[in-house]
Structures are given as structure tokens and as C-alpha cells.
């Protein structure tokens, strides 16, 4: 029972980070209908950028804030340079461009930072676990979850209460109507990519504290896809819930199935769960169901 409860709690804490990265997936899909297959590399870039700021002597929180600012700049430039001319083009064309961007960003990271594993030195979080009764939680998991939760609340409030956030929601709901009301689609798409870079970048910084920093963080960013599909590709609350569910499922499979299927079953189970789930709920828990009159 102790192992089960600790696995569930750690899964929820890691799931909070997954939810933060999933927000970037959902936001770009909501605004443009594009499944951004470069999200793993956005996570990778954010991880190394935050590490660079931290090694320059900045406190970790300040390094995260600087990572957010760099994410805004990189997201804006990426949309303007690579995707702006594709507005109105077939969705498949844009998706293929994101595939190309994933290889480009990965090669850029390898060129600038190399492929060796790096860690945050000195460690950002204490090593001694926090004990609550018989449950022990690593501080890196707890504080990463708290930081993810704070950023998720900020992003949700941005979408709900600011003019820019409402413009992005209007474009996602009905692009033609939003354009007729004076909303700039170019601005919305650029803002979506900027926020995607921000959320993925901070998620990468937190994952880097947990697992160390190397090129495999890009795969961890892609691991968030089952969480996005589970919650619904266009649902922000679904991204949060889906991230937590996938975190729990991954931890449970690692604790109970690795003994019988050694070799990384916890990285495979989320995709197996996604495939089975789609058979019964193709639009996710809160995704918009497309109804066509025939």
C-alpha cells in the first residue's frame, strides 16, 4: 500500500509538468488546427536555455523567468520565419513543416550544447526526501509540481481575462468571425507559438532537474502527446487532467510492470493506453466532437 500511494503521488506530481507541456500542444491546435510535432524539441531547447542561465549564476526562479522571455522571442520568430506564409494552406503542409522544425531544433541543440548529459550544479532542490507519515516525496517532484501549477493558473487566467487571451479563444472557436471583428490571425498564431515555447521550455527545465539534461528530453516532450489526446486536442482543462492521468499511469507501470517486462515499459504504456482509449473516445474526454450533416 505504501508503494502504491507513493507511486500515485509521484505520478500526480510528474503529471503536473506533463500538463504544462501539454498546454503548448493544445494551444497551437486550438488556434490553427495544427498538431505541432516539434513540441519535444521546444521542451529540449527550454531545458538547455534554463541550464545556461543557471550556470551563469542566476537563481533557478530567475533562470525560469528568463527562459519564459526567451521562449516568447523564439516562438514569435519561429512563427514569423517558418509558418507565417502558410496561413490558409492545407493543414498537412503545416504539420510537415513542424516535422522539419523538430529535426532543425534538435540539430541546433546538438551543435550548440553537444550531446553529453548535464546536470544542474549545484543542485536546485534538496536531495533529502520530504516525509509525510509513511509517504516520502522528493523535493524536486514537489516544487516542480508547485511551479507548474502556478504557471498553469497564470496561463488559464491569461486566456480567460485578458484581451489577447480572449482574441486567441475567439480565433480558435471561429476564425472567420474573429477576423470580421478585427482580430489579427497573424498575431494569434504568433502568440500561440510564443506561449507554446514558454510552457514547453519551463517543462523542459523542470524535467531536466528530475532526469538530468540530455537530448532525450525531446522524447519526454513527445511523451506528452498521449496526455493531449486523452484530454482532448482543443481542451485546456483536458490537457491538465490528461497530463496528471498519464503521469500516474506511467509511474504505476514503472513500479509494477518493469519486473515482468524490463526495458522501458513505462515509456511505452502511455502510447498503448492512448491507442486503446481512442477506440472508445476518439475526441478525448473534453474534445470537440465534429458532427456533420449528411
Is 15 inside any structural domain?
A: yes
Count the domains in the chain.
1
pLDDT tens per residue, range 175-188: 677 777 777 777 88
CATH of the domain at 59: 1.10.3470
Q: Which residues contact 247 (CB under 8 A, 6 or more apart)?
A: 11, 12, 13, 14, 15, 16, 17, 18, 227
- Predicted local distance difference test score (pLDDT) of residue 293: 55
Res 79 pLDDT > 80 = yes
Is the distance from CB of 183 to CB of 171 less than 8 angstroms?
Answer: yes
Distance CA 28, CA 67 (A): 19
pLDDT tens per residue, range 204-255: 888 888 877 888 888 877 788 888 888 888 787 888 888 899 989 988 888 8
Res 294 pLDDT > 60 = no
- Predicted local distance difference test score (pLDDT) of residue 62: 93
Instruction: Say what angle helices 139-161 and 236-256 make with each other, to 10 degrees.
Output: 160
| pTM (2 d.p.) | 0.86
Is 287 inside any structural domain?
A: no
Is 177 inside any structural domain?
A: yes
Mean pLDDT (the chain) is: 84
Is 286 inside any structural domain?
A: no
Cell of 293: 450533416
117: exposed, middle or buried (Cβ count in 10 Å: 0-12, 13-18, 19+) = exposed
Is 214 inside any structural domain?
A: yes
Is 294 inside any structural domain?
A: no
- Predicted local distance difference test score (pLDDT) of residue 91: 80
Is 8 inside any structural domain?
A: yes
Q: Which residues pair with 137 in a beta bridge?
A: 130
Range of the domain at 180: 2-280
Cell of 260: 515482468
Is 245 inside any structural domain?
A: yes
pLDDT tens per residue, range 104-132: 999 999 999 988 888 888 888 877 888 77
Cell of 50: 534554463
Amino acid at each position: 500500500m505504501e508503494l502504491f500511494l507513493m507511486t500515485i503521488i509521484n505520478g500526480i506530481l510528474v503529471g503536473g509538468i506533463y500538463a504544462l507541456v501539454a498546454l503548448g500542444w493544445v494551444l497551437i491546435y486550438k488556434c490553427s488546427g495544427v498538431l505541432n510535432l516539434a513540441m519535444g524539441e521546444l521542451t529540449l531547447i527550454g531545458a538547455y536555455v534554463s541550464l545556461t542561465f543557471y550556470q551563469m549564476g542566476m537563481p533557478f526562479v530567475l533562470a525560469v523567468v528568463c527562459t519564459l522571455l526567451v521562449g516568447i522571442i523564439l516562438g514569435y520568430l519561429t512563427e514569423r520565419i517558418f509558418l507565417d506564409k502558410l496561413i490558409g494552406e492545407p493543414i498537412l503542409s503545416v504539420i510537415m513543416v513542424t516535422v522539419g522544425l523538430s529535426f532543425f531544433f534538435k540539430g541546433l541543440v546538438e551543435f550548440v550544447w553537444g550531446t553529453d548529459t548535464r546536470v544542474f550544479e549545484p543542485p536546485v532542490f534538496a536531495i533529502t526526501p520530504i516525509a509525510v507519515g509513511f509517504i516520502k516525496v522528493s523535493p524536486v517532484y514537489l516544487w516542480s509540481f508547485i511551479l507548474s501549477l502556478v504557471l498553469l493558473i497564470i496561463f488559464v487566467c491569461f486566456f480567460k481575462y485578458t484581451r489577447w487571451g480572449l482574441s486567441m479563444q475567439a480565433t480558435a472557436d471561429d476564425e472567420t468571425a474573429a477576423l470580421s471583428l478585427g482580430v489579427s490571425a497573424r498575431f494569434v498564431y504568433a502568440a500561440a507559438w510564443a506561449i507554446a515555447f514558454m510552457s514547453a521550455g519551463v517543462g523542459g527545465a523542470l524535467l531536466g532537474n528530475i532526469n538530468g539534461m540530455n537530448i532525450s528530453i525531446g522524447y519526454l516532450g513527445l511523451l506528452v502527446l498521449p496526455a493531449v489526446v486523452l484530454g482532448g486536442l482543443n481542451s485546456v482543462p483536458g490537457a491538465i487532467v490528461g497530463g496528471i492521468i498519464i503521469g500516474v499511469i506511467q509511474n504505476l507501470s514503472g513500479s509494477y510492470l518493469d519486473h515482468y517486462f524490463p526495458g522501458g515499459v513505462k515509456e511505452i504504456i502511455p502510447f498503448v493506453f492512448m491507442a486503446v482509449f481512442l477506440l472508445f473516445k476518439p475526441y478525448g474526454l473534453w474534445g470537440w466532437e465534429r458532427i456533420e450533416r449528411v
